[in-house]
Amino acid sequence: MSDIYDLVKRYPWLPSLKTYYSDIALKNPLDFISEIFSSNKSEELESRVLNLFNDAFNKIEHLSEYELDEINIYVYLILRILLYIINDKILSNRIANIYSKTTYNELNKENEYNLYYIYQDLNLKVIYEEQPFVYKKFVVKEQKEIFKTNFKISFLDYLKLASNLKDEYRKLVNNALLQGYVYIKPENINRLLQEHVRKKLLIQNNEVSSDFEKFKERLFEIHEFKKLYTTITKIWESKKEEFEYSIDITFKEGKDYSGILPPCIKEILSKAQEGQNLVHTERLFILWFLNSLKYPEDKIINVFSTLPDFDREKTAYQVKYAMKKGYTPYSCKSLKSYNLCFANEYKDPICLEGYYSRMQDEQKFISHPLKYIEVKEYRDSKKLKKTKNQSQDQK
């Protein structure tokens, strides 16, 4: 079993940081930064923080460097301060995703003793049972699959941790609940902790305090810190556009679909682009939708690459499978029932007013997002033709 000091070095977001490294954790941020940047650890720290940002800028899925030493604690604390003062939602999401994903991988390498300690430290009501408990059995075509675990977590803690993850299979009713405890494999608790760590690094708008500018000014008096901040923000400025348009909608040479997508798709793509989590139905919908537009496999996979739990291998398998099966994307009716229709929020005239069908001589409502594309494309081409005619008339 690892020493608690080591666990805190590996996971600086643990509450024990305040107890075992109180000299660091309880310090005023300005004093902490001033001291650390004038120490002999400064160079190493700067290089690690910069590497971390570069991994995020280069869209690498896991941190290329994650040393489990005391500097790792400083990296985490500096990271939080930097994200706070940079105050950029896309960048925070990107960093939070890559950092929390690395945390998840590290947690999965821990033995059960260490995991138990980590859960206790987070004040989670987790119980370890000596004998593994069988909580699910599947029998498909004479193949038996048995799910067992030594861990159970109080349903209240489970709900608290899973509140942000809205997938169907995480709902309490779809889990093995017995006498107030959910039987769960440690890797599934770790996935919930990944979300916990991700949230810790995200900057909420209301978190920016009124003396933000003053705090920033004081921080910039520390030369090394300002230098690091300037380097990071300069790279970010040059990369930002790439991130804003990272979801490339063009799937045919010379054809750009970004302007003709329905609100339901735009909303999911913008969530993915910001690195937010997508629920299962959103993932399926976007996958089936892009597939029906004959979007190339690698581009569909890349749409998912910014998600907090992205796993390239698994996604590639699911994308290939969906492409083979050729599933039809959800209709507007289904999307409305899943609360995934955003016609009102986007005030979209095609979705709200429908279109005139010449064949049926009547005004019709959009019943499918693919129909939306057809109508929008038709209207845009008419508009373009009209503009061309007008400019020729003027000549």
Binding site for ligand SF4 (CB under 6 A): 262-264, 332, 335, 341-343, 351, 366, 369, 372
Q: Which residue's CB is nearer to ligand SF4, number 355 or number 372?
A: 372
Tokens 């004093």 appear where?
31
- Considering the complex, what minimum distance in angstroms separates the CB of residue 169 from ligand SF4? 24
- Can you tell me the distance from the alpha carbon of 343 to that of 337, in angstroms, rounded to the nearest whole number? 13
**DSSP reduced 3-state for 330:** coil
- C-beta separation of 163 from 198 below 8 A: no
| Cα 332–Cα 337–Cα 338 angle in degrees, nearest 5 | 95
- Considering the complex, what minimum distance in angstroms separates the CB of residue 342 from ligand SF4? 5
Instruction: Using alpha carbons, list the distances in angstroms from residue 268 to 263, 264, 265, 298, 340.
Output: 9, 7, 5, 18, 9
- Considering the complex, what minimum distance in angstroms separates the CB of residue 261 from ligand SF4? 9
- Considering the complex, what minimum distance in angstroms separates the CB of residue 187 from ligand SF4? 35
Q: Which residue's CB is nearer to ligand SF4, number 108 or number 328?
A: 328
- Considering the complex, what minimum distance in angstroms separates the CB of residue 331 from ligand SF4? 8
- C-beta separation of 20 from 5 below 8 A: yes
- Considering the complex, what minimum distance in angstroms separates the CB of residue 264 from ligand SF4? 3
Which residues, including other chains, have CB under 8 Å from residue 172's CB and lie 6 or more apart?
155, 158, 159, 182
Joined together, the tokens standing for residue 151 give: 């861990």
Q: Which residue's CB is nearer to ligand SF4, number 84 or number 285?
A: 285
Q: Which residue's CB is nearer to ligand SF4, number 133 or number 346?
A: 346
DSSP 252: B
- Can you tell me the distance from the alpha carbon of 315 to that of 299, in angstroms, rounded to the nearest whole number? 12
* Residue 269: Cβ within 10 Å count: 19
Q: Which residue's CB is nearer to ligand SF4, number 263 or number 308?
A: 263
